[in-house]
Structure 1
Amino acid sequence: MRTQSRPMPFTEEQMKQVFDTNLIDFAVQNGFQIEKGDRHSVHVKNSGGLYLFNHGRGYYCFTTEKKGNIVDFVKDYFGQDFKGAVKMILGCRAYEMTEHYVPPSEKKPKGDLVLPPKDKNFNRTIAYLTGTRGIDKEIVYAMINAGKVYGARTEKSGYSFHNCAFVGYDEAGKPRYCALRAPSADSSFRQDVENSDKTYGFCMEGKSNRVYAFEAPIDAMSHATLCKFHGIDWREDHRVAEGCLSDKALYRYLQHHPEITEIVFCYDNDMDGKLKDGTPHNHGQVQAELSAETFADLGYNTFIQTSKSKDFNLDLLAFREVADHIQPLKLESELER
C-alpha cells in the first residue's frame, strides 16, 4: 500500500540559509552578549560555560555538556521545536549579513538592573518549581511573597518568552541581581539579566549561626525541601545561591550577618566534569575544598556537604520517587491488618 509522503515544511534553499547563518550573529541579534573566550571560541556573557565557536557553526556548554549546530542552539536556549527553531532563524535574517564575525564586546560600566516584566500570572513558574523540580509549595510561595521568585515574560524578535526569575537584593531592598531560567525540563536556557551584580546572590535568610552555600537558587530551595521532609525547620538556617562557582555573594552576605560562624559548602558534584583538554575535573567539589580552606583561614567553621547525585535537586527528585513508591506500600500493608 502506497502512503503519501508529507511535504517538507521548508525548501532546500531555506535550509541552506539556516545552516549558513552564523551562530554568533544570530545570538547577538537575539540579546546574547559576547565576550572574549579563547582562540577557537567566544564566551556568552552571564551564561556560565556557554561558548560559541569562532567559525559560527556550533556551540558547546561546559555546564550542561550540550553541543550542536544553530538549530540545536535555538531548541536548547529558546525552547523551540525543530519547525519553530527554523522559522526563528530565518526570521532574524542574520544570513544576509556580510560580516559574520562579531568581535567580543568590551566591558562597559554597569548601569542599573532593570527586572524583566512580570507575567500575567506565575502558573508556569509554580508548576515548574513544584512539579518538575519537586520543591515544596510552602517554600516556593514564601520566595514568591518575598519577591525573590516570579514568573517573567520577555519579548524578543516578535517571540514571547516565559522564564522563572530569581532575584537578589541589596541591604536597602533594591534588586541587584536576577537570574532567568526556562520553566521547562527540555530547555537549557539560563541567563543573568544585564547589569546583574553577582555579589548580591539569591538569599534565604535564617536565624541560626549557619549558612549553606549553593551554586543555584533551585538547589538552595531543594535543600530546604529535603530538610523539611526530615523534620528540620527550613527557615532556621541561612542559604545563599552564588549563581556560579564564586564566593563573592557569600562574602557580602557574611559582612551583614556577623552572627554566622559556620559555613557548609553545597556545590555541585560534577562527577562527569572535564577541563577543556578533556581531563576529568569535579568543578564543584574542587571549588568547595578551596572555599572551605579559604574561609577556615578567616576563622569560620567550614564543612562540605556533597549531594549523592550531581546536585541537591536531583537528590530531592530521587527522594520523592522513593517516597512516592513507599507510601502506597505502607497503605497496602495497613489495609491488610
Structure 2
Amino acid sequence: MPGVTKEQIAKAKEWDLLSYLQTYEPHELKRCGPHEYCTRTHDSLKISHGKWCWNSRGIGGRTALDYLIKVRGMDFVGAVEALCGYRAPPPQEQPKPKPPKPFQLPEASRFPSVMLSYLQGRGIHPELLQACMQAGTLYESRKYQNCVFVGRDPTGRARFACLRGTRDNFRIDAEGSDKRYNFSLLAADPECSRLAVAESPIDALSLASLVKLSGGEWRDSHYLSLGGTAPRAMIQFLHDHPHVTQVSLCLDNDKAGIMGMERLENAIQDNPELSQRVKLIYRNPPPAEHGKDYNEFLCAHTKAVREQRQREPAR
C-alpha cells in the first residue's frame, strides 16, 4: 500500500486500544467497572476484555487502528503512521461543558395527603408540618408525590430544594440548588440566640417534635438541616442570623456524624467573626441505644409512649 509497508501495518495492528490510550492518551481513560473503561470524550465508548464498542454509534473493534479510523476519523495511512510513531494523531476535541440549569422548584400537588401521611408516620408533629407548609418550606410534588423541603434566603427567595421519596429511599437535591441555603425551621423570635443543627430536614423536624412532645416550646430555637455534614449551610445561617450565640450540633451518632460535629465546631472556631460571637457549642448526638439519628430516636420515643398508654388501666 502506498505510504506504509506491510511491516508497519503489522506493527500498527499489534496495538490494542487500552494499551494505546494508557501509553499515549491516559487522560482519556476513565474506569467504569472492575474490568471496563470508557473514554472521557465519549462515555458510551466501552473498552473491555481486549475489545471496544462505541454503543451510541453501534460500531466497535479490537485494535487501536480501528479506533483511530472509526472514531477519530483518520485515514488508514495516517492511523498506521501514528501507531508506528511517525505522526501524532490529531488532538481530541474536548466537549463543551453544559451550562448549569437554573434553579426551579418542582410543581406542587394540590392535595399533600401522601406527604403528610408519610411524615406523620415518621413521628413528625402535625403542628410543625403546618408551620412549614405555611412558611413555604415544605410541600408535596405533583410528580411522584415526593416531600419537597425548601431552603430560602433572608429575603424569602427559594434557593434550595431537596426531594425525599414517600415510598422508598429516593432523595436528591433539585438542580441548581444553592446548598448554603438549606431547609430550616425558624424560631418565633427573629433575634433568638439558639440554633440546633441536624444532617437532614427530617432530623431537624424530629428535634423540634421531641421538644414539642416533651412539653417544651419548639419555637424557642432555630433548626437547620445541613443536607449532610458539610459546614457551609451552618456558616451561612450564622452570618444571616447575627443574634445566634449558642449552637447545638445534633448530627448522627455514627463515625460520619461524630467527625462532622468536630468539623462544624472547627469551622466556627476558625472563623474570626463567629468565634467571637458563638460562645457555646454543644455536641449533642442522639443516645446510641435509640438509633443513630434523631428520627430513629423520635420513633422509639413515640412507640414507648404509645405502649405505656396501652398498659395504663382505663379510667
What is the TM-score normalised by the length of structure 1?
0.61
- 1:1-337 matches, cutoff 5 A: 98=58, 110-131=100-121, 133-154=122-143, 161-184=144-167, 187-206=168-187, 207=189, 208-270=192-254, 282-297=255-270, 298-299=275-276, 300=278, 301-308=280-287, 309-330=291-312, 332=313, 335=315
Distance of aligned partners of 1:116 and 1:223 in 2 relative to their CA distance in 1, 3 Å threshold: same
Describe the shift of the 1:325–1:203 C-alpha distance in structure 2 as closer, same or farther (beyond 3 A). same
Report the alpha carbon displacement of residue 296 of structure 1 after superposing the two structures with TM: 3.7
Q: Report the 3-state secondary structure (helix = DSSP H, G, I; strand = E; otherwise coil) of the residue aligned with 1:114.
A: coil
Q: 1:20 is matched with which residue?
A: none
Shift of 1:55: 5.3
**C-alpha contact 1:167 1:179 (8 A) present in aligned 2:** yes
Q: How many residues align?
A: 224
Q: Is the 8 A contact 1:130 1:136 kept in 2?
A: yes
**Matched residues in 2 for 1:317 and 1:150: separation?**
22
TM-score for both structures, normalised by structure 2:
0.65
Are the aligned partners of 2:159 and 2:177 in contact in 1 as well (CA < 8 Å)? yes
Change in 2 beyond 3 A, CA 1:39/1:111 = closer
Opposite residue 115 of structure 2, the aligned amino acid is T
Q: Take 1:118 and 1:314, find their aligned partners in 2: how far apart are those partners?
A: 28
Change over 3 Å in CA distance of 1:112–1:54 after alignment to 2: farther
Bigger drift between 291-300 and 136-145 goes to 291-300
Structure 1 alignment gaps of length 5 or more: 1-37, 42-51, 57-94, 155-160, 271-281
SS in 1 for 2:124: coil
Compared CA separation, residues 54 and 284, structure 1 to 2 (3 A): farther
With 320-329 and 294-303 compared, the bigger mean Cα shift is at 294-303
Q: CA deviation at 1:249?
A: 1.0
Quick one: structure 1 residues 237 and 53, their matched pair in 2 at CA, closer, same or farther if it must change by over 3 Å?
farther
CA pair 328-253 structure 1, distance change in 2 beyond 3 A: same
What is the match of residue 84 of structure 2?
Answer: none
Report the Cα distance in structure 1 between the residues aligned to 2:97 and 2:34, rounded to whole angstroms: 20
Structure 2 residue matching 1:162: 3-state secondary structure: coil
- Aligned residues of 1:181 and 1:190 also touching (Cα < 8 A): yes
The alignment partner of 2:145 has SS state of strand
Measured on the aligned residues, the alpha-carbon RMSD in Å equals 2.6
Which has the greater radius of gyration?
2
- The alpha-carbon deviation at position 120 of structure 1 amounts to 3.0
Any idea what SS the aligned residue of 1:212 has? strand
CA distance in structure 1 between the aligned counterparts of 2:98 and 2:281, rounded to whole angstroms: 36
1:295/1:302 contact within 8 Å kept: no
Q: Say if 1:296 and 1:302, in contact at 8 Å, map to a contact too.
A: no
Moved more, 204-213 or 287-296: 287-296
Q: Distance in 2 between matches of 1:115 and 1:128?
A: 21
Shift of 1:287: 1.1
